[in-house]
């Protein structure tokens, strides 16, 4: 087991270099507009002190792909050296309770970085992120009390299902966020490396192709080519849209519709290969 402290802008700067701690996990970003002003200060201080490193994003509940891109954009120089994590909790989170939010976030971050982030969540809300268990490690928060100001690890049972165990357990959250890490220093470094390179971009590529699509049923125009992305509009059967590109994803055929402000995206074939209208 390793000892870890997670730090944010309000933490004493000394937390990043304290003796007896193996890993420092630094808050990097939140939402799509906040960067912790002390992130790199703490990161570089911890690195100089010989600590293992991590960095995390706090979800505000905006578009998950946009938040993942913002996180990656502001931390890409840490990727491969430090372990990324996504912080999923109720405070300041407009999408709390949505069970596919974190799944979409980690998919996007992995596509950009080649690394699966750890997922921070309280033990009582594991069901909200359970669909990430096959890819991402668990950073679970479960406290014996809010007055456990000690590195003595409490003797208590921790719920981790559907994970078989935790990667990190945060067991205090009062004067200091104390954590134990369920791996070795070598194991931590492997988590940081991921696949060592981003997933191949545009593995499923957009192909420029113009045409029209007559809807065979009511369908949504989405903000992005993801079935769970927000709807721009809902069009009735018989509607005709003009498209300028197609994308055969792993499950669905998507069409890209030019709009006055950017693009809209519509499914032409569902995950069963059924055509949902007439392509012309």
Rounded (to 5) percent helix, strand, coil in the chain: 20, 35, 45
**Two tokens at 112?**
């950009």
Domain ranges of the chain: 2-193, 207-279
Output the DSSP codes for 50-95: T-EEEEEEE--SS-HHHHHHHHHHHHTTTBTTBEEEEE--STT-TT
Single out the residue of 52, 51, 70 nearest to residue 60, CA to CA. 70
Cis? peptide before 125, omega within 30° of 0: no
Question: What pLDDT does residue 154 have?
Answer: 93
Distance CA 182, CA 167 (A): 5
Question: What pLDDT does residue 201 have?
Answer: 44
Q: How many C-beta neighbours within 10 Å does residue 139 have? A: 27
The CATH code of domain 2-193 reads: 3.20.20.80
Distance CA 238, CA 9 (A): 54
Express each pLDDT in 247-269 by its tens digit: 987 778 999 999 987 899 999 99
Distance CA 44, CA 222 (A): 41
The CATH code of domain 207-279 reads: 2.30.30.40
Distance CA 140, CA 137 (A): 10
Express each pLDDT in 100-143 by its tens digit: 999 999 999 999 998 999 999 999 999 999 999 999 999 999 99
Q: How many C-beta neighbours within 10 Å does residue 184 have? A: 12
Single out the residue of 194, 226, 196, 192 nearest to residue 103, CA to CA. 226
Q: How far apart are the two ends of the chain, measured CA to CA in Å?
A: 61
Q: Give helix 101-113 / helix 64-75 axis angle, nearest 10°.
A: 40
Question: What pLDDT does residue 204 have?
Answer: 58
Cis? peptide before 162, omega within 30° of 0: yes
Q: Which helix (H) or strand (E) holds 121?
A: strand 118-122
Single out the residue of 22, 27, 24 nearest to residue 9, CA to CA. 27
pLDDT along the chain (280 residues), means of 10: 95 95 98 97 97 98 96 94 97 95 95 94 97 96 90 93 96 89 94 66 72 95 86 94 89 90 91 89
- Output the average pLDDT for the chain: 92
**Two tokens at 92?**
């300041």
Distance CA 121, CA 87 (A): 7
């Amino acid at each position: 087991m390793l000892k870890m402290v997670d730090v944010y802008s309000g933490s004493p700067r000394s937390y990043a270099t304290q003796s007896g701690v193996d890993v420092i996990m630094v808050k990097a970003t939140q939402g799509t507009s906040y960067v912790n002003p002390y992130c790199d200060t703490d990161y570089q201080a911890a690195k100089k002190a010989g600590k293992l490193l991590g960095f995390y994003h706090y979800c505000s509940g905006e578009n998950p792909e946009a938040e993942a891109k913002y996180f990656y954009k502001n931390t890409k120089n840490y990727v491969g050296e430090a372990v990324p994590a996504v912080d999923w909790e109720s405070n300041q989170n407009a999408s709390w309770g949505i069970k596919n939010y974190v799944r979409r976030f980690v998919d996007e971050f992995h596509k950009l970085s080649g690394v699966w982030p750890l997922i921070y969540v309280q033990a009582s809300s594991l069901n909200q992120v359970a669909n990430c268990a096959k890819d991402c490690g668990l950073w679970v928060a479960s406290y014996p009390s809010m007055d456990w100001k000690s590195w003595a690890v409490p003797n208590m049972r921790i719920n981790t299902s559907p994970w078989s165990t935790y990667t990190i357990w945060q067991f205090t959250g009062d004067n200091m966020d104390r954590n134990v890490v369920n791996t070795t220093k070598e194991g931590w470094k492997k988590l940081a490396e991921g696949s060592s390179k981003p997933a191949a971009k545009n593995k499923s590529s957009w192909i420029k192709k113009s045409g029209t699509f007559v809807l065979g049923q009511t369908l949504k125009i989405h903000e992005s080519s993801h079935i769970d992305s927000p709807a721009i509009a809902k069009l009735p059967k018989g509607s005709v849209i003009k498209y300028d590109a197609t994308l055969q994803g792993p499950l669905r055929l998507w069409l890209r519709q030019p709009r006055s402000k950017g693009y809209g995206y519509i499914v032409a074939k569902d995950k069963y290969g059924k055509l949902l209208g007439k392509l012309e």
